[in-house]
Structure 1
Amino acid sequence: MGTEPRLGSKVFYKIGEVSQLTKLPAYVLRFWESQFTFLKPKKSRGNQRLYVQRDIETVLEIKRMLYEEGHTLDGVKRYWVRRGRAASRRLRPREIAKKLRGDLQVILKIIDSHSS
């Protein structure tokens, strides 16, 4: 048997790996993509979904809100709309730096994987 994927162990994850990490069926992940405009994994040339760590963290937060806190799909959508608006108005320097650092780490991993 192969080893199970671990969050943070690579840059891109296919939908099957995300399904294992989040313990959600792939059809749920595809459905959520159709419902939540902010959940848009990249697509490979072969049209496979490629999730990054931030996408997986978003999936886990949606899962928590729906399954543990009992929110509806519409409630989760409203929350993310409000969160997006609030975040765009009040980004703190520390949050910006954290986001940039994460983005740079992804870029460095991509560069490292292509240089070896």
Structure 2
Amino acid sequence: MKMNKIHHVAIICSNYELSKHFYTEVLGLTVVAETFREERESYKLDLAIGDDYQIELFSFPHPPERINRPEARGLRHLAFEVNDVGEVAAELEARSIAVEPIRIDPLTGKEYTFIADPDGLPIEFVQK
């Protein structure tokens, strides 16, 4: 089996407008398409990161809570590669986003840090 790349990551949010603002205005992702699916009472927002990857942000009426434990089964976190972790951390803190202390990965030697999206999904920023 030959796979080319990750096609997309899908995220279901609890507050569409808040999450849309977070991913577009705070993180700076580009809107590719926004669709309201009336039959599902759901928005689907396609977001671009550069030219290669895409995030699909979904809203559904009354989505169930997710168990929020770092080591629970399922998606652990979403990670973005950045040129300067310290610069990204400073920009996020200036926007009143709580940023964990920058750490060094003992396996790669690269800097990384975490924030949380509006629903508590951990988002990692990793040094290029």
Q: TM-score, normalised by structure 2?
A: 0.26
Name the structure with the higher strand share: 2
Name the structure with the higher helix share: 1
